Structure 1
Amino acid sequence: MAVATTPEQTDGAPLVVLTQRRVWLIFGALLASMFLSSLDQSIVGTAMPTIVGELDGVAHQGWVVTAYILAIAIVMPLYGKFGDLWGRRWPFLVAIGLFTLASAGAGFAQTFGELVFWRGVQGLGGGGLMILSQAIIADIVPAKDRGKYMGPMGALFGIAAVIGPLLGGLFTQHADWRWCFWVNIPIGIAAFVTAWVTLRLPSHRSERPVDVAGIVFLVVATSGLVLASSWTSFSGNRDYDWSDPWLLALVGGTVLAIAAFVVVELRFARDPILPLRLFRNPTFTIATLIGFILGAGMFAALAFLPTFLQMSTGVGVTQSGFLLLPMMAGVMLTAIGSGVAITKTGRYKIYPVVGLLVTALGLMWLTRITGDMSLVLFGAMIFVLGAGMGLVMQTIVLAVQNAVDPHELGTATSANNFFREIGAAVGTAIFSTIFTTALFTKLSDVFAGASQLGAGASDVTPEAVAALPEPYKSGVIDAFASTLAPSFWYFVPLVLVGLVLALFLKEVALSDVAGMVARGEAVAADGSGAPSAVVVDELTEHVDLAEQGDLAEHVDDERAGSLGR
């Protein structure tokens, strides 16, 4: 349970004063940074054919996405732990700098290898932006007020997932695919400057040793899991199948690395990079499992819906992105609404319960899609799916942060996000295996005896389908719809398992103390959390002149009360 006692100052450094103005300025920098990282997971999808065609990388196009996702997954736990050990200001600035620099490098890449390299560097920065943004909010805002901040952050994550393909298509069709990366540069510079000025968070030295062995095994295990998932996923072509000995060796090595990681963390690490004792906390365990489940269902659905729309309606990549906007609206509405409601009521358990139920209903409804269905009906379906996800995403992060020691906010936040990323990778791989296997069989039947068309089951594209004569065109569209629709059933039981888990989520009273205040690193603007011996000048040197009077009066009252006792 979160510590809610008045802290003692642990060193001689002046306390940071968390005024409302400072909190909002920091929040703006965090939103910009988190949006950058989330957007780049999906923006290159629609631009991929143009990118790999221009840079001669068609045979290895999956690496453009894999390099980014792999780097993000690897560094998530590292940023969380290092932020707890040494403070979050410098890791956050490094993350923004890496991401912005890599965006410029990717935009100016002249070869496919250069692009993949810079995408990996982007991921090294992006993973820090996602984790540290959520952890810093927990540092500066008490849990009881955090919902109104976490809601927009959750909405932003969902918006980025939907708007990424839309922007990628717009840039590719009307400008240059390189703008998919260049667009990050001005936003990144603005976020860096804002963070440099406002993010006056304490840095400190830690005497605890770095868990080198745990980091090595975690990196190896995560890499193997993400690579195995990516290489068996559908991305225009499949790199490997499960009969390939190299893939089997990769899976075997990944299992061994996971086992070694568990042994090291439990028996040898003095300060584990990912403390497995966190899983003794039922709130952390349940919320993390829910995150894994939501990641699996959310990204699997988003991966294939644009392709289905392009096949069934004949729209281009940009238009298919526009058709996913109802999902974005659903995520925004419920994420922000639930955040405000949590702040007002202090109750949060009901939202993941209702959200997972709505998500399951949305997936069930999507099993009814057909090739000739109304786009209005389709919009209603994905709006429901988005509304369900918006109720869950940031609520479970809030539950985790509220249930752990303030000294482990970053570690717990990164662990929750890490397992959601792993869920997305594994879920997409499973879904794509099921979907593509069944689809190839149906397309083979459609094109049986039609060699004169110059098209076949293995090289179907939206452009090729639009040019097909009847009945082949209708046959391909029906094959996609009849394969995709029942595939959603595979995720309904998984989401229902999450719903059952949410029923057992213990609702811990939300703390009224920000993480930095609880750790003795800051004081609230009203003076709460300040040690009685703190001098007024130390507190007020960081506060705007308009706010100094109230704070000084509050501390004087505290002193008077202390002398009276």
Structure 2
Amino acid sequence: MSTIDPTSAPSKSSQGRGWRFWVIFLALCSSLFLSAIDLASVSTALPTIIHHLNGTDSFAWVSAAYTLSCTAILPFSGKLADIFGRKATLVSALLFFTIGSAICGAAPTMSALIAGRAVQGIGSGAIQSLVLIIVADLVTLKERGMFISMTGTTWAIASAAGPFLGGAFAQYVTWRWLFYLNLPLCAFALAIVIIFLHLEKPRTEGFWKTLFAMDWIGNFLIIGSSTSVMLALTWAGVSYPWSSTHVIVPLAIGLVGLCVAMVYEVFVVENPTVPKSIFASRTAVAGYVGTFLQGGVLMIVLFYVPAYFQAVKLAKPLLSGIYFLPLMAAISPAAVAQGIIIGKTGNYKLVNLVGWGLMCLGTGLLCLLGPNTSIGVTVPIQIAAAVGIGLIYSTQFVILAPIEPTLNAQALSFMVFLRSFAQSWSVAIGATLLQNQLKHRLPPSFSSTQLSFNADISYTIIQVIPTLSEPLRTQVRTAFAESLVLLWKVCAVVCAAGFLSVFAQQSIALHEKKDARFGMKKMRRGDDSESETTRTDGLVEKDASNGLEAVGTQQDEVEASSNSSSDSELPIIIMPVNNDLDR
């Protein structure tokens, strides 16, 4: 059977897609919205939550439990999606997120809240990876710029609304509604996914045989080692000093375990969760490095810019969300712009360079923020950083361009895993750096009477500063602003490293292939102008020259469809097809 050069076929206009495609895409965006708004709203309301539940000593676990479970599930979720299908895995993820939200909303203690956040994290991690994987199944890499822009816009809108919701509920209603609000949103997303998300699923040899064939040892090594590392990072600098055995031992065990897991995945297991082929290109490796660095910087900015407004500018939670809006709102148009630019030009390398440059500039300018800085000055600084963050969404192109679409699920899951893992590191390191700076900069009179140094100082201070009298209040505000400068400097250096990593990338043409094992089920005729060629290697390539479906012999078709539960084994003829409607 002849094949078509995947880079030569013209792109398909989004206007040619059927209504079922857009309903499915709405389901994906709705699911992603849940994950994003939860992350953004909780960070703004966190000081209030800690105060109400008397959880200063365990503050770090509210975010750590979430990121720990979110990170640990990510590589596993990609493999589950390959074996059991995208729909079943996404529905399970939404159910986990719903249950976790209910637990958090009803939590009477910090322990219950932390448990709920862990359950939420499992759902959120799988949602993030599944959305990217399903979009990759439905849309070729060359066309994907606009759709990545849409998912990025969804994330940005939710992130912009999150601080408002977090601040408003924490200040005027109750923080519990931050979690209860997820319940109707989850019900809406579940309904759309269950009713409309009809995708192909590979044939398996039976549930139990498939279950036992999974890479359980590799997943155990990855999940266990990741958990050990993040436990150490959660304790480091807050519950125990970095030199404590409580930190060193789990950190060492986790890092060694991750190395063992990588060796096992590359050289031992036949069907690995993280195949070595996703690292075969230096371009993909550079993309993974950029993803890790961006994840770390993003989490520090999301956590500590609102903390600056609340501690230094004495803004209440709702007002801090308003002050934080320029950063969250500017990410969306930047994400749209990068998708359009890359979709039109294919030049992801230039977009990455500009993105990292703006992130470096924005985080560097954050060093100028002090107690006397006007709110107007913070706006362009936040926008510079936000535009850079939006443009760096293009790391997905860097990672996927060198590999075959059949590796999309593993590559995207590992990409999100790295981003989440970096966020865990950045939260722990950021908290430690800020805590150490505050211990040295706070006035002795304040430190000795107001604080317990067994707790996290930064979030304790936020609640205490408004009650102080002058001049002590100004001194503490100044100390907090000066302590944050070190975090901004570290972020600027990390962004500079990200900028340099772009030079390791090669300019690879964006292909027009898709994985034939997944995607929409059999299509109706007559609604589309473009066709696809199903190859014997399990890929789909587009043939837009005449709007016909080009196929081969019966033998070729049987080979191509052996892994799909909806394909036909009858002789194939050339006929018009519709690529976007379910049968």
Question: In the alignment, is the contact (CA less than 8 A) between 2:232 and 2:251 conserved in 1?
Answer: yes
**C-alpha contact 2:160 2:329 (8 A) present in aligned 1:** no
Aligned match of 2:106:
108
Residues 406, 519 of structure 1: 8 Å contact kept: no
What SS does the corresponding residue of 2:470 show, helix, strand or coil? coil
1:218 corresponds to: 222
Cα distance in 2 for partners of 1:462, 1:109 equals: 23
1:205 aligned residue: 203
Letter of the structure 2 residue corresponding to residue 115 of structure 1: L
- How far has the Cα of 1:60 moved from its partner? 2.5
Alpha-carbon shift at residue 323 of structure 1 (Å): 0.7
Greater Cα shift, 199-208 or 400-409: 199-208
Determine the structure 1 residue equivalent to 2:70.
Answer: 72
Amino acid at match of 1:392: I
Cα 1:32/1:557, change in 2 over 3 Å: closer
Alpha-carbon contact 2:164-2:318 (below 8 Å) kept: yes
Q: Deviations over 1:239-290 (max 9, x none)?
A: 1211322222111211231232123212321111112342222222111100
Q: Separation in 2 of the partners of 1:398 and 1:499?
A: 16
CA distance in 2, matches of 1:202, 1:267: 31
Query: Residue 455 of structure 1 aligns to which amino acid in structure 2?
Result: Q
Q: Does the CA contact (< 8 Å) of 1:447 and 1:457 recur in 2?
A: no
Deviation of residue 28 (structure 1)?
Answer: 0.8
- Asked if structure 2 preserves the Cα contact closer than 8 Å seen for 1:295 and 1:424, the reply is yes
Give the stretch that moved more between structures: 183-192 or 110-119.
110-119
Report deviation, 1:557.
Answer: 6.5
Tell me by how many angstroms 1:70 deviates. Answer: 1.0
Return the offset for 1:441.
0.6
Q: Identify which range, 351-360 or 364-373, moves more after superposition.
A: 364-373
Q: For each residue in 1:489-541, what CA deviation from the matched residue of structure 2 results, as whole angstroms up to 9, or x when unmatched?
A: 22222211211211232222122234348999767943333464799xxxxxx
Q: Name which of structure 1's ranges 68-77 and 488-497 shifts more when overlaid on structure 2.
A: 488-497
Give the conservation status (yes or no) of the 8 Å contact 2:233–2:251.
no
**8 A Cα contact 2:401 2:508, kept in partner:** yes
Instruction: Report if aligned partners of 1:142, 1:513 keep a CA contact under 8 Å in 2.
Output: yes
Q: Which residue of 2 aligns with 1:347?
A: 347
Q: How many residues align?
A: 518
SS in 2 for 1:528: strand
Please tell me whether residue 46 in structure 1 is matched to residue 6 in structure 2: no
Distance in structure 1 (CA, Å) of the matches to 2:259 and 2:398: 28
User: 2:166 aligned with 1:168, yes or no?
Assistant: yes
Distance, in Å, in 1 between the alignment partners of 2:320 and 2:506 is: 40
1:52-201 paired onto structure 2 within 5 Å: 52=50, 54-55=52-53, 57-201=55-199
User: What is the rounded CA distance, in whole Å, between the counterparts of 2:396 and 2:249 in structure 1?
Assistant: 35
SS at structure 2 position matched to 1:46: helix
Query: Could you tell me how far 1:431 is from its partner in structure 2?
Result: 2.5
Identity across the alignment (%):
27
Q: Mark the CA change 1:399 to 1:224 in structure 2 (over 3 Å): closer, same or farther.
A: same
| 1:234-253 to 2 correspondences below 5 Å | 238-253=238-253
Q: Could you tell me whether the CA contact under 8 Å between 1:4 and 1:518 is conserved in 2?
A: no
> Relative to structure 2, which stretch is displaced further, 376-385 or 517-526?
517-526
In structure 2, C-alpha distance between the alignment counterparts of 1:320 and 1:519, rounded to whole Å: 43
Give the match for residue 438 of structure 1: 437
Who is 1:502 aligned against? 502
1:366-515 aligned within 5 A: 366-393=366-393, 395-445=394-444, 447=446, 454-455=449-450, 458=453, 461-515=461-515
In structure 2, what is the Cα distance between the partners aligned to 1:31 and 1:557? 30
Distance (whole Å) between structure 1 residues aligned to residue 19 and residue 516 of structure 2: 17
Q: Matches of 1:188 and 1:130 in 2, distance apart?
A: 14
1:93 and 1:520 mapped to 2: Cα distance? 17
Unmatched 5+ stretches in structure 2: 7-15, 534-548, 555-572, 578-583
How has the CA–CA distance of structure 1 residues 468 and 85 changed in structure 2, closer, same or farther, with 3 Å as cutoff?
Answer: same
Q: Which has the higher contact order (CA 8 A, sep 6+)?
A: 1
Aligned mates of 1:256, 1:477 — CA distance in 2: 41
Q: Counterpart of 1:167 in 2: which secondary structure?
A: helix
**d(CA) in 2 for partners of 1:507 and 1:432?**
38
Q: Secondary structure at the match of 1:203?
A: coil
Q: Contact 1:292/1:423 (CA < 8 Å) preserved in 2?
A: yes
Contact 2:43 2:303 in 1 (8 A): no
Match of 2:231 among 215, 227, 232: 227
The answer (yes or no) to whether the contact 2:199–2:520 under 8 Å persists in 1 is no
Are 2:200 and 2:517, in contact at CA under 8 Å, matched by a contact in 1?
no
Deviation of 1:402 (Å): 3.2
Shift, 1:445, TM fit: 4.4
The residue that corresponds to 2:13 in the other structure is none
Partner of 1:257: 257
Q: Give the stretch that moved more between structures: 112-121 or 419-428.
A: 112-121
1:145-203: CA deviation from partner (whole Å, max 9, x where unpaired): 21111012223334444543332221122222221111111111111111122211112
Partner residue in 1 for 2:567: none
1:281 to 2:285 alignment: no
Opposite residue 428 of structure 2, the aligned amino acid is: A
Q: Is the 8 A contact 2:79 2:410 kept in 1?
A: yes
Specify the SS of the correspondent of 2:39: coil
| Equivalent pair of 1:4/1:512 in contact (CA under 8 Å) | no
Residue 444 of structure 1, CA deviation: 4.0
On the 8 A contact 2:64/2:424 being kept in 1, the answer is: no
After TM superposition, the structure 1 stretch with the greater mean CA deviation from structure 2, 205-214 or 301-310, is 205-214
RMSD of the TM alignment (CA)? Answer: 2.8
2:172 aligned partner, one-letter code: H
Letter in 2 for 1:147: G
Structure 1 alignment gaps of length 5 or more: 7-17, 536-553, 559-565
Contact 1:41 1:68 in 2 (8 A): no
Return the alpha-carbon distance in structure 2 between the equivalents of residues 445 and 556 of structure 1: 81
Could you say which residue in structure 2 is the equivalent of 1:336? 336
Following superposition, the deviation at residue 111 of structure 1 comes to 4.3
The alpha-carbon distance between structure 1 residues 203 and 503, as it changes in their structure 2 partners (threshold 3 A), is same
How far residue 214 of structure 1 moved from its aligned partner, in angstroms, is 0.5
What are the superposed Cα offsets for residues 35-63 of structure 1, whole Å, 9 maximum, x if unpaired?
A: 11122234223333444555554433332
Distance 2:503 2:307 in 1: 35
With over 3 angstroms needed to count, the CA separation of the structure-2 counterparts of 1:91 and 1:45, relative to structure 1, is same
Contact 1:138–1:401 (CA under 8 A) maintained in structure 2: no
More off after superposition, 202-211 vs 220-229: 202-211
- Structure-2 change in CA distance of 1:444 and 1:492 (3 Å): same
Match of 2:562 in 1: none
CA distance in 2 between counterparts of 1:36 and 1:296 reads 21
2:532 corresponds to which residue?
528
Q: What CA distance in whole angstroms lies between the structure 1 residues aligned with 2:342 and 2:130?
A: 22
Query: Aligned AA for 2:450?
Result: A
Q: Conserved in 2, the CA contact under 8 Å of 1:41 and 1:69?
A: no
Q: Call closer, same or farther: CA 1:4–1:423 in 2, change over 3 Å.
A: farther
For 1:426, give the aligned amino acid: W
Is the contact made by 1:446 and 1:476 (CA closer than 8 Å) also made in structure 2?
Answer: no
One-letter amino acid matched to 1:89: K
Instruction: Give the direction of change, closer, same or farther, for the CA distance of 1:465–1:365 in structure 2 (3 Å limit).
Output: same
Q: Helix, strand or coil for the counterpart of 1:511? A: coil
